[in-house]
Amino acid sequence: MYKYIIKRLMMLIPVILGISFIVFSIISLTPGDPARIILGNHASEEAVENLRQELGLNEPFIKRYISYVGSSIKGDFGSSYRTGKPVFEDIFGKFPLTLKLALFSMLLATALGIPIGIISAVKRYSIIDGASMIFALLMTSMPSFWIGLMLILIFSIKLDIFPVTGVENIKGYVLPTITLASFSMAIITRMTRSTMLEVIRQDYVRTARAKGASTKRIIFKHCIRNALIPVVTVIGINFGILLGGTVITETVFALPGLGTLLVSAIRMKDMPIVMGAVIFLAIAFSIINLLVDLIYAVIDPRVKAQYSR
């Protein structure tokens, strides 16, 4: 088991090298000059050239990449071109908010999605099933900025319950959490329903029924565990996406999260921040995937047996 974990962690190294090279090339080779962006249209060519020199932008691309990798191995990820602050000071400043939002919304999505999915599957073609599938379809089809704006319009402006912007207290998290959770919840509901339906049709379920086990026992003891594996995968992936991709929700609610930092850094061609954030997210994503794999082992003893081999 530990061997497996260590092996998985070692695999991170080539993954991160690959990702960093791809991102570094994309940022370096696409047009747009960070020095010009920082100094604006009015600054003279000379001042821009000086800043380019200072930021080391005149070096050839490969040389810059190698020196970036060299210094980041030593733990120096550079400083933001824009703020001059060390990269991880900026990233860790934004990460707690993003993490909280991702956690809250995944909790909400899971807490609602799995039960609804199970009920839909068990009571297939009933009114509940129809209603929840339509609800799920609505949630996947409505763009999150629209959901966010509607929630603000109704619950902030009209009903005056929640704030439009800011997360000074727990109330501020409610609307962004719902907005973020809507899509994942729909996916989880649909996923749970379809895998449950598959499991219900299995022979061992028929056997359980034949030997007289109660429906409750069959669902909870025999079906759910088996149905959950694909659902856990979906939850893991969605959680990873939420960690890096809540830009739209952050913009609508004016929240200073990691997504916004990353996107504005890309716009500013703020290479150190982009690299730092992408590497950070890649590590986070890989670790989440690893955790998901470990959870498989908890759910399914067969998988556990494989890991220890």
- Residues binding other proteins (CB under 8 A): 30-34, 36-48, 50-51, 82-85, 90, 93-94, 125, 127, 130-131, 134-135, 138, 149-150, 152-154, 156-160, 163-166, 251-254, 256-257, 260-261, 264, 267-269
Least distance CB 194 / other proteins (angstroms): 16
**Quick one: DSSP state of residue 157?**
I
* Residue number with CB closer to other proteins (252 or 281): 252
Least distance CB 33 / other proteins (angstroms): 5
Between vectors from CA 303 to CA 206 and to CA 198, what angle results, nearest 5°? 30
Query: Strand, helix or coil at 79?
Result: strand
Tokens 């009114």 belong to which residue? 127
Least distance CB 256 / other proteins (angstroms): 3
The Cα 99–Cα 260 span in angstroms is 13
* Residue number with CB closer to other proteins (9 or 138): 138
Least distance CB 162 / other proteins (angstroms): 10
Return the H-helix or E-strand segment holding 201. none
The Cα 73–Cα 247 span in angstroms is 29
* Residue number with CB closer to other proteins (18 or 130): 130
* Residue number with CB closer to other proteins (84 or 212): 84
Least distance CB 209 / other proteins (angstroms): 26
* Residue number with CB closer to other proteins (157 or 210): 157
